[in-house]
């Protein structure tokens, strides 16, 4: 079955954020406490604390407001101090800056001391300015625009009317770039009010309405491909980070019957760290993950419609990757490893990770999200579509899960970093495993490891492609995952990890 045949388009709808529905404070705190006991280090507990901060901020009014805001700040400090926060929670730093903005803004309204109010507003302004860039980096463009508006409104509160107008115009520029028409309607009306010029709202008449029609039209060409992987893992209260990169040449050539053959020339893999894990189970996982992310690029064939056909010579590729990974692990293995039973079980069998079938499945998935899923599609800017598709489990697990995926054509971008011509399109995808599939995986892990298992993962993906050819320019995949085994101490007990893989192709 082709990737396109495996994808089921469900529906489409303009992105919207529902108003939060809060339980009472005691119920929420009880739930967080229970999560801390039943699944320590879980993303659900971190999200619960962020939800509790929202609840506190929504009730921080009257004479009690400063105490309530102190409580919100204390909860935020607790969340931010947890090393799992930045590793597990997508857009963690942006959300932290967003909450800091809201706390400072609320403090400015809580009391009558003019000097304190001015200080709090200036701190709110700095937090909002930080959040704009962080949300952009996290691919959350709606929140980015909302915080850009917050900058304008804070400048207005500070009495900086000219700066407020300039920042509101900057928000409108973002509205136009990302196609947020409803937001622009409100902002143009406010701009007319702030400037006293009713004609300001007339600019809405030429608000852009964009669509992207993507067609498969490869040509004979070569590409220089750069690959970078950043892996993070929480170990004993600190975050260990590992970075590797490689570069290689890729060729696109015509095959029989108008098919296409894609071939890669292996490149040299290098690492930007020296502090290798001293736990043998973690070291095996890291070695498999780094080699798979950096070196596993098989040759493959595509038919004239752009559909994945097969990989070529994956047996030899798998054998080479197995040898290289084992050599890498042996080179950095601790002198006297003493793995526990569970850690021994977690040592990945490289033949399983790098067998021919697994390599072909991952190659089909990569081509599917880079090219095949988009052939002939017409996407409206800013509309979030939904589909279901198989996606490899994060980390070195040699398995795929059915996932719910939402995706959108976000904006037009240059095809090359050095260019100003916005002829490529950016697609953003967000994927989460389906609940029933996760339940099946957890049951299987329970049976295999003989302990209660907890699992969660999240995937964000950024695709930059030429809509006229579907030659991929950037694939930026960000994955976060949590695995925990009840009653197991040490590195194998709780695994909070993330990976960011960026593949850039220059033709």
Q: What is the mean pLDDT of residues 363-390?
A: 97
pLDDT-derived band of residue 21, with 50, 70 and 90 as boundaries? low
Q: Give tens-digit pLDDT for 211-254.
A: 999 999 999 999 999 999 999 999 888 999 999 999 999 999 99
pLDDT at 22: 54
Residue indicated by tokens 């950043």: 230
CA 389/CA 5 separation, integer angstroms: 10
Phi, psi of 99 (to 5 degrees): -65, -40
Contacts of residue 49, Cβ cutoff 8 Å, sequence gap at least 6 = 32, 75, 78, 79
pTM of the model: 0.90
Alpha helices, DSSP H, located in 20-160: 25-38, 43-58, 65-81, 83-88, 92-109, 114-137, 141-157
Sign (positive or negative) of CA dihedral 5, 11, 15, 16: negative
How is the chain split into domains, by residue range? 25-210, 213-506
Q: Is 402's pLDDT higher than 50?
A: yes
- 205's CB contacts (< 8 A; 6+ apart) are none
Between 94 and 38, the higher pLDDT residue: 94
Stated as kind and residue range, the H or E segment containing 164 is helix 161-178
For 470-498, the pLDDT digits (tens) are: 999 999 999 999 998 887 766 568 899 99
Specify the pLDDT at position 267: 94
User: pLDDT-derived band of residue 407, with 50, 70 and 90 as boundaries?
Assistant: very high
- Report which of 415, 417, 416, 388 is spatially closest to residue 401, judged by C-alpha positions: 388
Looking at residue 337, its pLDDT comes to 55
| Residue 269: predicted pLDDT | 96
pLDDT of residue 342: 42
Where do the H-state alpha helices sit in 216-355? 280-295, 314-332, 341-346, 350-353
User: What average pLDDT does the segment 297-302 reach?
Assistant: 98
Asked if 190 and 203 count as a contact pair (C-beta separation under 8 A), the reply is no
- Interacting residues of 90 by C-beta distance below 8 A, sequence separation 6+: 138, 458, 460, 478, 480
Strand-pair partners of 403: 389, 433
- Torsion sign across C-alpha atoms 308, 313, 315, 320: negative
pLDDT tens digits along 61-108: 888 899 999 999 999 999 999 999 999 999 999 999 999 999 999 999
The mean pLDDT value for 328-340 works out to 74
Instruction: Assign domain 25-210 to a CATH class.
Output: mainly alpha
* Section 11-36 average pLDDT: 64
More confident residue, 448 or 167: 167
- Residue 298 confidence (pLDDT): 97
213-506: which CATH topology?
Answer: Lipovitellin-phosvitin complex; beta-sheet shell regions (2.30.230)
């Amino acid at each position: 079955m082709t990737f396109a045949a495996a994808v089921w388009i469900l529906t489409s709808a303009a992105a919207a954020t529902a108003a939060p529905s809060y339980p009472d404070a005691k119920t929420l705190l009880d739930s967080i406490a229970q999560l801390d006991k039943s699944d320590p280090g879980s993303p659900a507990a971190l999200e619960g604390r962020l939800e509790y901060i929202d609840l506190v901020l929504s009730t921080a009014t009257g004479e009690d407001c400063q105490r309530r805001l102190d409580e919100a700040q204390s909860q935020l400090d607790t969340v931010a101090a947890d090393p799992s926060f930045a590793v597990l929670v997508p857009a963690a730093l942006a959300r932290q800056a967003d909450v800091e903005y809201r706390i400072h803004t609320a403090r400015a309204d809580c009391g009558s001391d003019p000097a304190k109010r001015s200080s709090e507003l200036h701190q709110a302004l700095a937090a909002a300015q930080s959040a704009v860039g962080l949300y952009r980096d996290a691919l959350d463009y709606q929140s980015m625009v909302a915080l850009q508006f917050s900058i304008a409104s804070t400048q207005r509160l500070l009495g900086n009317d000219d700066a407020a107008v300039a920042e509101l115009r900057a928000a409108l520029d973002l509205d136009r770039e990302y196609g947020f028409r409803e937001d622009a309607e409100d902002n143009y009306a406010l701009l007319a009010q702030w400037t006293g010029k009713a004609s300001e709202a007339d600019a809405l008449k030429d608000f852009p309405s964009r669509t992207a029609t993507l067609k498969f039209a490869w040509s004979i060409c070569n590409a220089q491909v750069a690959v970078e992987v950043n892996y993070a893992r929480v170990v004993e209260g600190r975050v260990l980070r590992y970075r590797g990169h490689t570069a290689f040449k890729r060729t696109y050539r015509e095959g029989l019957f108008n098919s296409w053959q894609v071939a890669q020339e292996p490149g040299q893999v290098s690492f930007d760290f020296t502090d290798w894990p001293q736990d043998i189970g973690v070291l095996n996982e890291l070695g498999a993950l780094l080699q798979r992310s950096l070196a596993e690029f098989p040759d493959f064939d595509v038919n004239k419609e752009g559909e994945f056909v097969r990989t070529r010579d994956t047996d030899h590729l798998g054998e080479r990757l197995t040898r290289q990974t084992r050599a890498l692990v042996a080179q950095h293995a601790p002198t006297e490893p003493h793995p526990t039973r569970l850690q021994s079980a977690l040592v990945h069998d490289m033949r399983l990770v790098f067998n021919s079938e697994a390599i072909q499945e991952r190659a089909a998935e990569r081509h599917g999200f880079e090219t095949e899923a988009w052939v002939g599609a017409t996407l409206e800017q800013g509309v979030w579509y939904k589909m279901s598709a198989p996606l490899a489990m994060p980390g070195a697990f040699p398995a795929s899960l059915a996932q719910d995926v939402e995706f959108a054509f976000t904006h037009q971008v240059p095809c090359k970093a050095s260019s100003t011509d916005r002829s490529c399109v950016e697609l953003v995808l967000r994927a989460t495993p389906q609940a029933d599939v996760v339940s099946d995986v957890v049951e299987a892990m329970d049976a295999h490891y003989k302990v209660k298992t907890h699992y969660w993962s999240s995937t964000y993906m950024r695709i930059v492609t030429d809509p006229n050819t579907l030659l991929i320019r950037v694939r930026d995949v960000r994955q976060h995952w949590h695995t925990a085994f009840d009653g197991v101490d040490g590195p194998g007990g709780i695994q909070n990890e993330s990976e960011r893989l960026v593949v850039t192709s220059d033709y």
